[in-house]
Structure 1
């Protein structure tokens, strides 16, 4: 562990959902990232690579969606949390963009992946949905996607999935996961401030589900097909090896998704803050 990493470990502020902290990070030692940096498993690595594609533009979408209604937030506490949410999402985007540059150096087709993702999601699908169902739908979709990212973060931390990652990739993924938990209720609370419509909430979550799973799976497979080091045998060997995580992650994530349909649901009900705090001090 480098001196800089040790320093960061000592100075990171604890998780506080009532007053999230913008933690500016600079993860070192990832320039020589292995091709398959999660347990030497292509299936797991390219699952994470798909998220590296999704996050930067996704974070910008989250920021715009929440910021569009920030002037309607009258509660000082929530207003402060919105500012922290925006700051955290900016930092997340920056760190994942650094990884994308490294992946480009590995010969991954990052450029075309980003163009296809940005055009289909943010120039086609979401504008069409917004035109039909109104501007608040973007905020609802954001709240739904935040529930997915926070739920996945909690599950991953609880089962130590990050420990399979190479070097400071573990720290990057863990830091992001902890902050997803810390700010998981912000977009939801803004949505409830501007509309308490149950239909809007669950319809936005339905669209979020289609986008979350659709892009994550298709980009993962795209990465695998473009990986010259993944042949027929390795593809199925690594897929079989990855099932140990899938058997835990997907059923728990499905149960977390079902919670969103409760009329009295709120993200704080799932907790996870102490879990995130314990994980943060290991970075």
Structure 2
């Protein structure tokens, strides 16, 4: 199945500037830790996504999809570098991510040992997660981005826009090369368990490292309780889009995010 709508994929340089970053860069410390946990997975994860598409690119005959693949690779390469810089800058001797970097290295080794079909199916599932969350960030910026500096907004807004722009690419490659519905569904079930559990574990670990500010400050406790409610609400709101993935006829473009994308692109320019 090919893309149902044409979506421009633009490879941009991020306006995010590597600089000293406090571990508390949103109004809620819990939201900071949650976003940092997501960021931890991006450098290695997005390089893996690129590999899985490149592995089978020579089997793609569609000319437009070949152009989209180039855009996908360019965007993901920039994302990996930017989040690598962020991850290095946000940590210090009392707030560190090294344990998870090693865990992700081991997980990437495991994934690279799978067949090309299973590797690409994992990418397709994870790209669905990132597109859903990117859309949510753009739709509810007051929930996800409250208190962010302009520099940090540049990082997350830029990333969200590009994730939506290329959300169909890995899916279309998978459909053209493998077109295996059972594998797509199996991989989504496996990825769902791994993605949610790893994000919860990483966020919890960061919260515990920062417990003096996150758990023991009354003002932050109230803000973080609201954040927890907001994240739970996010999961329920995204559930229909998540379940849609299991339909035989599903295509990423059926989740319409074009209005959100248009407005966010304007913010990127300004």
Q: 1:59 aligns with which of 35, 43, 46?
A: 46
What CA distance in whole angstroms lies between the structure 2 residues aligned with 1:71 and 1:181? 24
Q: Distance in 1 between matches of 2:264 and 2:233?
A: 19
* Per-residue deviation, 1:90: 0.3
Q: Does 1:27 align with 2:16?
A: yes
* Distance in structure 2 (CA, Å) of the matches to 1:217 and 1:94: 24
- Residue 85 of structure 2 is aligned to residue 122 of structure 1: no
Offset at residue 233 of structure 1 (A): 3.1
Distance 1:167 1:33, change over 3 A: farther
Root-mean-square deviation (Å): 2.0
Does the CA-based 8 Å contact 2:79-2:159 persist in structure 1? yes
| Conserved? CA contact 1:33–1:166, under 8 Å | no
Structure 2: how far apart are the matches of 1:163 and 1:225?
22
Unpaired segments ≥5 residues, structure 1 = 1-15
- Aligned match of 2:100 in 113, 116, 136? 113
Moved more, 170-179 or 153-162: 153-162
3-state SS, counterpart of residue 91 of structure 2: helix
Residue pair 2:22, 2:90 contacting (<8 A) in 1 also: no
Structure 1 residue 162: deviation in Å?
A: 4.6
Alpha-carbon distance between aligned partners in 2 of 1:173 and 1:181, rounded to the nearest angstrom: 12
CA distance 1:173–1:116, change in 2 (3 Å): same
Aligned to 1:158: 139
Tell me the alpha carbon deviations over residues 204-232 of structure 1, each in whole angstroms, 9 at most, x when there is no partner: 11122122112211111111111253364
For 2:73, the equivalent position in structure 1 comes to: 86
1:228-239 equivalences in 2 (<5 Å): 229-230=212-213, 232-234=215-217, 236-239=221-224
> For 1:96 and 1:239, how far apart are their aligned partners in 2?
24
Q: Relative to 1, partners in 2 of residues 1:82 and 1:251: Cα closer, same or farther, differing over 3 Å?
A: same
State whether structure 2 residue 80 is matched by structure 1 residue 97.
no
Aligned mates of 1:75, 1:105 — CA distance in 2: 47
Instruction: Note closer, same or farther for the CA distance 1:272–1:54 as it changes in structure 2 (3 Å cut).
Output: same
The aligned residue for residue 255 of structure 2 is 270
Task: Determine if contact 1:26/1:95 at 8 Å carries over to the other structure.
Answer: no
Question: CA separation in 2, counterparts of 1:54 and 1:17?
Answer: 29
| Counterpart position of 1:220 | 203
What TM-score does the superposition give when structure 2 sets the normalisation length? Answer: 0.89
CA displacement, residues 84-126 of structure 1 (integer Å, 9 cap, x when unaligned): 100000000111011112113474222222012221x1123x2
Gaps of 5+ in 2: none
Residue 230 of structure 1 aligns to a residue whose secondary structure is helix
Q: Which moved more, 1:209-218 or 1:263-272?
A: 209-218
